[in-house]
A and B are shown apart, each in its own frame.
Chain A
Amino acid sequence: MTIMAAEPSRLSLRSSRAMIRPAATLIIAVLLVALTGTVILTITVGAAGIPVARLPAALGFWRESVPDALLQRDQLVLWSIRIPRIAAAGIVGGLLAVSGAIMQGLFRNPLADPALVGVSSGGAFAAAAAIVFIDSRFGASVQFMQDELLPLAAFAGSLFTTIMLYVIASRAGRTSIAIFLLAGLAIAAIANAGLGVLVFVADDRQLRDITFWMLGSFSGATWSKTATAAPVLAIGMLACLWVARGLDLLVLGESEAFHSGINVEKLKRVSIVLISALTGVAVSICGVVGFIGIVVPHLLRLVIGPSHRLLLPASAILGAILVVGADSLARTIVAPAEMPIGILTAAIGAPFFLAILLRQRGLVGL
């Protein structure tokens, strides 16, 4: 019984000083300004740089200030490559951060992350399996709806893994953090083994696609993929308004949430579907990008507190900022080649995760 989610060690939370939270509107305003700044900055950098001075022209203002040939090149780069990619990165960042925050609330566990515990891998495996299937003789008939099929497959894979995790890790209304993390590790290993099998049977072209799922990258981002993901983020954010209060009360435990008027079974079902849909769609765009779901809500909780009503929308914005920033780093750091963003987020996120783990050692009971 020592490893229950519900036993935060008093020593692990060092600061005992009074906590006064900044106003919600201020936080959201600051984050939105930061997001705008990040987008403007990242639009200008890349393999083909567009200096800030030429940006207004490329966006359609004061065209006469820039020579025609240069303008056409800038506009091509901007509208067909850079902006769709930034939009995709921003949406994925929002999806991953919000799904991480919901997952942490549902499992009452600040260490939960969809990528860490195999939910992303489950989605990636299902998506990669769909690629191999669509390419096969049997799948030819559904080839025309590839853009819709991949997110659906990734959602199904994520949903299956989330439900499995929930069934394994919770017993009698309590969730064991240690069992949750270990089971997630095992599920991730199974999904990765499945990806390995697909690598084995895949041909060269499929292999490139599958590697993309395993490492995570936005190089394949297009307007059509972004268009599939944007409504999912919008619907997810609306649903968050409904789950936020429930998740706050769930922090007190399932019985207490029920006593306070929450339909706990419904809350859990909606949360599981939300986590899976947000993660699945993110995976279908960029493969497995880890640690966003854990880093973003953790940083925010330090400033705005753990209440989900502000945490969920703030996570969406900060998630977008981080992933847009990380992606522009990924495409410039080894230019003209590109580093998969999954490697970058893991390199930064994993040490961060270890730091949280050490600080909250008492929480896990290890």
Chain B
Amino acid sequence: MTPVLEARSLALDINGSLLVNGIDLCIQAGEMIAIVGPNGAGKSTLLRLLSGDLKPTRGSIVLKKRALASYSPRELANHRATLSQNVSVAFPFTVEEIVQMGAGDIGAAAARPLVEAALREVAVAHLRHRKLPTLSGGEQQRAHFARVLVQLARGEAMHGAGLLLLDEPTSSLDLRHQIELVEIAGRRARNGTAVVAVLHDLNLAVRFASRIVVVRSGAVAADDTPVRTITDALLRDVFEVDAKIQHHSDGSPVLLPQQMQPLSDRQAQNAR
């Protein structure tokens, strides 16, 4: 099966510092991939490369059999939707207007059902006439998620299953909305959308993903199923914590903060 997106030996050099260094990544339709890693590892940078927002210094990215660089911004928006971190809005748009922006130029009537579905699915329908800057961080994040879902739905209606990129989509969400977001993303994956999310919470990543990609210092340190990726050794080597991972009755790894210790500086040195 041809992958939705395939990246080969990606590298990004910004002013002499190598933020991404030789990453290979192959994303199939219907996969749910979590990108995890310590602060500054290059997770968001990798996502921005995959979205076309940043151009790689070396390497190639192919989206649906075509070089990513050959897409115009408009075409690209039909094949992949991206939720960025910390989107902020300088003018008082209402939630409904923001979500409608995801529909592009298909016209208000055609956009209506997509907008309504997204407002309901993300549970912001009751906020539709509120101005975005007056809402809490989590409510704003959900409104933007609804906008991105509308963009994805519009693109998939025209070109079939697409790519959904989420950069820390749960950073401002409470527990309930974190789970809901994961489930919404899961429904998209079951319909064939390839979902890639940068996540901080490893437990959420385990629940979310069919595959976890661990990034350290701009390179892939591990890329496998959650059970095989999240191990004591990984936590020690990549996250520099001493941990004993528990296992849930279904076999999935469970991380309890109570059972973790940061490595001492010397241990961390050795681990590297």
Decide if B73 touches A263 in the complex (CB within 8 Å): yes
**Considering the chains assembled together, what is the distance between the CA atoms of A94 and B84 in angstroms?**
36
B117 CB–A CB distance under 8 Å: no
Once bound together, how far apart are the Cα atoms of A167 and B166, in whole Å? 31
For B81, list chain A residues within 8 Å (CB): 259
- Greatest chain B CB density within 10 A among A5, A8, A13 is at A8
Residues in chain B near residue A25, CB distance under 8 A = none
Is A145 among interface residues, defined by CB-CB distance under 8 A? no
Interface 1/0s, chain A 242-264, versus B by CB < 8 A?
00010011011101101111111
Q: Does A306 contact B93, Cβ atoms closer than 8 Å?
A: yes
Is A307 interfacial (CB-CB < 8 Å)?
yes
Is A253 a contact of B129 with CB atoms below 8 Å?
Answer: no
- Given that A245-B105, A251-B93, A305-B94 are contacting pairs, would A261 and B87 also be in contact in the complex, using a CB cutoff of 8 Å? no
In the complex, chain A residues whose CB is within 8 Å of the CB of B87:
252-253, 256
| A216-246 to B contact mask, C-beta < 8 Å, 1/0 | 0000000000000000000000000000010
Confirm or deny: B72 has a beta carbon within 8 angstroms of a beta carbon on chain A: yes
CB-nearest residue of chain B relative to A250?
B90
Q: Identify the closest chain A residue to B167 (Cβ).
A: A255
Quote the shortest CB–CB distance from B127 to chain A (angstroms).
9
Asked if A301 and B134 make an inter-chain contact with CB atoms under 8 angstroms apart, the answer reads no
- Please give, as numbers and ranges, the residues of chain B lying within 8 Å of A248 by CB-CB distance: 93, 101
Closest A residue, CB atoms, query B90? A108
| 9-residue interface stretch from A16-24, A69-77, A191-199, A333-341 | A16-24
- Inter-chain CA distance A258–B82, complex, in Å, is 10
Q: B131 interface residue, CB < 8 Å from A?
A: yes
Size category, B interface = 35 or more
Q: Which B63-112 residues have a C-beta within 8 angstroms of A?
A: 72-78, 81-82, 84, 86-94, 97-98, 101-102, 104-105
The answer for the CA separation of A16 and B94 in the assembled complex, in Å, is: 11
**How many residues of A are counted as interface, with CB atoms below 8 angstroms from the partner's CB atoms?**
35
Given A13-B131, A249-B101, A305-B97, also A110-B51 (CB < 8 A): no
Complex CA distance for A20 and B81, rounded to whole angstroms: 28
CB distance from A322 to the nearest CB of B (A): 21
Residues of the B chain whose Cβ atoms lie less than 8 Å from the Cβ of A7: 88
Which residues of chain B are near A252, meaning CB under 8 Å? 87, 89, 98, 101, 144
Chain A CB within 10 A, most for which of B91, B94, B129, B130 = B91
The answer to whether B91 and A306 touch across the interface, beta carbons within 8 angstroms, is yes
Residue B192 is within 8 A (CB to CB) of chain A in the complex: no
Minimal Cβ-Cβ distance residue in B for A249: B101
With A5-B90, A8-B88, A249-B101 as known contacts, state yes or no: A261 contacts B78, CB within 8 Å.
yes
Report Cα–Cα, A263/B76, bound state, in Å.
Answer: 11
Which 6 residue pairs spanning A and B have beta carbons closest together? A261-B77, A306-B91, A18-B129, A6-B88, A259-B82, A16-B134
Footprint of B on A, CB under 8 Å? Answer: 5-8, 10, 13, 15-16, 18-21, 108-110, 245, 248-249, 251-253, 255-256, 258-264, 301, 305-307, 363
Q: Chain B residues in contact with chain A, CB under 8 A?
A: 48, 51-53, 72-78, 81-82, 84, 86-94, 97-98, 101-102, 104-105, 129-131, 133-135, 144, 151
Task: Taking A110-B91, A258-B52, A262-B73 as given, write out 11 further A-B residue pairs in contact, using a Cβ cutoff of 8 Å, ordered by the A residue number.
Answer: A6-B88, A6-B90, A8-B88, A8-B133, A10-B134, A13-B131, A19-B130, A252-B89, A260-B151, A306-B91, A307-B93
